[in-house]
Amino acid sequence: MSIRLKGQETQVAFVSANGTEESVADVKSFDIQFDRDILSEGYLGQTTEQKDDIFKGVSGKLEFHVREAEFLDLIQRMNEKTKRRLPGEQFEIVSTLTFPDGQRRRILVSDAKFGAIPISTPSRDDYVTVTFDYAADDGSILPA
DSSP string, 19-53: EE-GGG-SEEEEEEEEEEEEEEE--TT-SS-EEEE
Contact 17, 89 (CB under 8 A): yes
Average pLDDT over residues 11-33: 94
Give percent of the chain with pLDDT exceeding 90.
94
pLDDT tens per residue across span 45-77 = 999 999 999 999 999 999 999 999 999 999 999
Q: What is the pLDDT of residue 1?
A: 62
Report the top-level CATH class of 7-34+57-142.
mainly beta
pTM flag (> 0.95): no
pLDDT at 144 exceeding the cut of 80: no
Q: How does the average pLDDT of the chain come out, rounded?
A: 95
Q: How far apart are the first and last CA of the chain?
A: 24
CA atoms within 13 Å, Cβ hemisphere of 33: 11
